[in-house]
Structure 1
Amino acid sequence: MLAKEIMSRKVITVGPEMTIQALARLFTDRRITGAPVVEGGKILGVVSLTDMARRDRGSAPRGRKAHSFYRKASEEEGGEKTSVIPEIPKFNHVIDIMTPAVLSADENAPVKDLAQMLLKQRIHRLLITRKGKLCGIVTSMDLLRALAASRR
């Protein structure tokens, strides 16, 4: 069995400048947990509920350089007292929280290879390409459905 036989062809994509609020509405309305981030036909990354949760905790996005979330809040003259308080990260758009590293597989890849990639990388979705262009997506649920169907 090949990726193209089990993939979802109608891929919901998002743009890098979509707001986090709009992303949350999309995930809720479409009942999805992640989506490829695409701009001008180019795949930039993937954004998921996990990325959104990481944002809410104030963590740096995976795959991006962590930067300091702390700043000097106040200093008394003479330098006797300095307090440092957490700065709320300004992660307002998809590009701020997405995972930029994208794993993909060709549409003719065997399903067994897809399952191994998902397991090894501990991810739940894999982008499927045809000649380097996005043509579908395979999720862990797609693999389970294929397995269940093959056991009948």
Structure 2
Amino acid sequence: MMKVRDVMNPEPVAIQATAAVSDAVRLLRTEEISGMPVLEGEKLVGVVSESDLLKMLSVEREGGLWLPSPLEILEVPIRDLIRWEKLQAEAEEAGTTTVSEVMTRKVFTVGPEESIQRAASMMVRHRINRLPVLEGERLVGIVTRGDIIAGLGMEASEVEED
């Protein structure tokens, strides 16, 4: 049976809770990932994902995040232009917001010796894309849906070779 240790990334990209959201955005983009563990020192305290960052940009006073449709882009009505400017101002404020203010605090984790089936089950049940891998309290890796799919493919090819 394949274990999380067999498919996890042993060098997860992580960010400190005190870092600016703009740093998190930059890291997600440069590392080409959609989320990462958040640490206070060495302790796991949350996860920050693209979804968390998008939620931060919702303009609650205006009824939620506004993204223009193609027709609205052509028309560019004044009221929508004002909303767009407010959204841009909020995005600029993101540079002063810390990761701890936007991260998801309820973190599901998995151990390196657990089966990839259990990890997959947790991801599906909780609708998450990644699981930090902890050994005791120490972050030792991260496993994503893609890692598990790749692991299942490796396992299937080993069975075919036998």
- After TM superposition, the score normalised by the length of structure 1 is 0.77
- What letter corresponds to residue 120 of structure 2 in structure 1? A
Question: After superposition, what is the alpha-carbon deviation per residue over 1:24-44, rounded to whole angstroms, capped at 9, x for unaligned?
Answer: 111111111111000121111
User: More strand per residue: 1 or 2?
Assistant: 1
Provide the identity percentage.
26
C-alpha distance in 1 between matches for 2:59 and 2:124: 27
- After TM superposition, the score normalised by the length of structure 2 is 0.72
Runs in 1 of length 4+ with deviation above 2 angstroms?
Answer: 88-91
Question: After superposition, what is the alpha-carbon deviation per residue over 1:1-55, rounded to whole angstroms, capped at 9, x for unaligned?
Answer: 1111111000111011211111111111111111100012111100000100111
Question: After superposition, what is the alpha-carbon deviation per residue over 1:66-104, rounded to whole angstroms, capped at 9, x for unaligned?
Answer: xxx69xxxxxxxxxxxxxxx9x69761111110001111
Query: Among residues 106, 109, 123, which one is paired with 2:111 in the alignment?
Result: 106
SS of alignment partner, residue 12 of structure 1: coil
Alignment of 1:33-52 (within 5 A): 33-52=34-53
Residue in structure 2 matched with residue 29 of structure 1 by the alignment: 30
Question: How many residues are aligned here?
Answer: 127
Q: CA deviation at 1:58?
A: 4.1
- What letter corresponds to residue 23 of structure 1 in structure 2? A
Q: CA deviation at 1:132?
A: 2.5
Q: CA deviation at 1:149?
A: 1.8
Residue in structure 2 matched with residue 54 of structure 1 by the alignment: 55
C-alpha distance in 1 between matches for 2:59 and 2:127: 22
SS of alignment partner, residue 57 of structure 1: coil
- Is the deviation greater in 128-137 or in 46-55? 128-137
Q: CA deviation at 1:131?
A: 2.1
User: Please, what is the CA RMSD of the aligned residues?
Assistant: 2.0
C-alpha distance in 2 between matches for 1:116 and 1:130: 20
User: More helix per residue: 1 or 2?
Assistant: 2
Structure 2 runs not aligned, ≥5 long: 63-85, 158-162
Residue in structure 2 matched with residue 118 of structure 1 by the alignment: 123
Alignment of 1:3-22 (within 5 A): 3-22=4-23
Residue in structure 2 matched with residue 132 of structure 1 by the alignment: 137
* 1:96 paired to 2:112: no
